[in-house]
Structure 1
Amino acid sequence: MSLILIIILVLLLVGGLPVFPHSRSWGYGPSGILGAILVVLVILLLLGKI
């Protein structure tokens, strides 16, 4: 279950990068937020809380 969650978050992180013309004005906000969530989940996974 946690592996599926991490895979989904990684895909969202890649999708949030501002490389497409419609998302250039977004900046790095969406990918930064998703990256922070991914880091928290990895830490919780390593601590055995998930």
Structure 2
Amino acid sequence: MLGTILLIVLILALVGAFPAWPYAANWGYGPSGIVGIILVIIIVLILLGRV
């Protein structure tokens, strides 16, 4: 159950960090970098069996 919720939140964060909209054009790598760090943390937790 928790894994499904994390997957949905991660997909929404990836869509939100994609700089396709005009107001997000000047954000640079910040949002996608944060999403990448969250993805790495989730992968590590899955590999350790915590999720």
**Paired residues, what number?**
50
- Distance, in Å, in 2 between the alignment partners of 1:2 and 1:30 is 22
Task: Using structure 2 for the length normalisation, give the TM-score.
Answer: 0.77
RMSD of aligned alpha carbons: 1.3
**Sequence identity percentage:** 52
5+ residue gaps, structure 2: none
Q: Segments of 4+ in structure 1 off by > 3 A?
A: none
5+ residue gaps, structure 1: none
- Distance, in Å, in 2 between the alignment partners of 1:38 and 1:10 is 10
Q: Deviations over 1:1-50 (max 9, x none)?
A: 12211221122122111111010011121111111111211221122022
| Maintained 8 Å contact 1:10/1:38 | no
Query: Are 1:30 and 2:46 an aligned pair?
Result: no
Task: Using structure 1 for the length normalisation, give the TM-score.
Answer: 0.78
